[in-house]
Amino acid sequence: MHEISRRQDFTKIGVVGLGYVGLPLAILAGIKGYDVLGIDLDKKKVASLLSGNSYVSDVSDQDLQALLCAGNIRIQSNYSELQGCDVIVICVPTPLTGDKNPDYSRLISAVKGIAAVLRQGQLVIVESTVAPGITESSVLPLLEAGGQKGGKDFFLAYSPERIDPSNKSHGLQNTAKLVAGLTARCQFLAQQMYEALGIEVIPVRTLAIAEMAKLLENTYRDLNIAFINEMAQVCHASSINIWEVIDAAATKPFGFQVFYPGPGVGGHCIPVDSIYYTFWARTNGTPAKLAEHARLVNAAMPHYVAGRIRKTLQSMGKALSGSNILVLGVTYKQDIDDIRESPSVELINQLCKEGGVVSFHDPFVAEISLNSSRLERVPLDEQTVVRQDCVVLAVAHSAYNLSWLYDASQVIFDLTNRMKKFPPEKIQKL
């Protein structure tokens, strides 16, 4: 027991993957006084960071520049100097392939890069989302390929990221971290590292439990959003306002949690982690049918919204084909610049497929890729808005002046319920 609880002094922390998860962690470690080595293979990201420009909303340019000037953080695009780190945290993306299957290619590449320089006594922590068993069945063998033994010569832990970009209430330092280790010693060392950064740690008994907990957290949200999206369709068919239904139900002080309908579910976590779960379950012979159905419901929402827009235009004596439609907001959530798995982009694809003359504006995005082309942002001014047959408020960014938008538009399809206080004559809702 004494061996397990023996403290280890960490002075140098390596972070592999400097995105919305890795960069805040690297900055926090630097602020806490650690010598930080940040690694990202994207040379554009490295160049941006070295020039003092953060591309992550939760990291300020000022914090980054101060750490660069003080020498607390170094950033590069190769793994060679990781050998000098006491801890290596892997924060690379694990997205989906083109056919919507788990993609571990960047994780495997990162682990191979680390394995090539791994030295005795190092602690490796995986934060990337994986299916249960992957840390032990895929990461561990690669690290042991050079002859070192996990739990003895080096240490391995898993701690799933819980970052919600731009969340002002819950960030890296005040969101507890689940931590599991290959061995008790591995877990203790990882817990020690995070606690040294001021993060509360919740120990978890096995790697697989920690891996599965991450999938549960986000599949839970996917299921509930799918339920409310389905109910929104049922309510609309019966001329019931789903938003008023939600407000009424939310007055119950127990047994109910609010979820809101929308054009679908996007981002780096919810739709991805749900697929990781359903893919893993089906591969293991027990299909997760409820979660699979939820994913189908949410994935179909852009098509449903396009159909509602078509009917709205028909009620005005117009066809969708040839109509001018402006979509406001293409990020997956409010006030960030991330368009991964964005339902707004899929909605634009659907509207274009049906012949709509579609344009978009987003204060955080200058250009998007569609199925067969690219679309550049249009200016949000009176000249743009007045020529639209329909304006779709898909993401209610804080920068949008809703009063001006209401006055300038012919009709607004509000997918956010942010315009509920305006006269209903011009407004359509889910």
Q: Which amino acid appears at position 371 of this protein? A: N
Q: Which two tokens mark 200?
A: 């509360």
Q: Which two tokens mark 128?
A: 């990337």
Q: What are phi and psi of 243, to 5 degrees?
A: -65, -40
Tell me which of 186, 269, 352, 390 is the catalytic residue: 269
Written in H, E and C, the secondary structure of 350-418 is: HHHHCCCEEEEECCCCCEEECCCCEEECCCCCHHHHHCCCEEEECCCCCCCCHHHHHHHCCCEEECCCC
**What CA–CA distance (Å, rounded) separates 212 from 230?**
26
Closest listed residue to residue 333, CA positions, set 274, 378, 269, 277: 269
**What CA–CA distance (Å, rounded) separates 163 from 337?**
15
Which residues are within 8 A (CB) of 294 and not within 5 positions of it... i.e. 6 or more apart? 219, 222, 223, 225, 226, 227, 274
**What CA–CA distance (Å, rounded) separates 424 from 136?**
56
**What CA–CA distance (Å, rounded) separates 308 from 196?**
52
Q: Are 152 and 184 in contact (CB under 8 A)?
A: no
Helices 207-237 and 289-315: crossing angle in degrees, nearest 10, is 30
Which residues are within 8 A (CB) of 105 and not within 5 positions of it... i.e. 6 or more apart? none
Rounded to a whole number of angstroms, the CA Rg of the chain reads 24
Q: Which two tokens mark 322?
A: 């040839």
> Which run of H or E residues covers position 215?
helix 207-237
Catalytic: 269?
yes
Q: Which two tokens mark 192?
A: 């020690």
Residue pointed to by tokens 């002046």:
401
**What CA–CA distance (Å, rounded) separates 416 from 159?**
33
**What CA–CA distance (Å, rounded) separates 29 from 344?**
36
Residue pointed to by tokens 């140098």:
12
Q: Which residues pair with 358 in a beta bridge?
A: 325
Active-site residues, by number, are 269
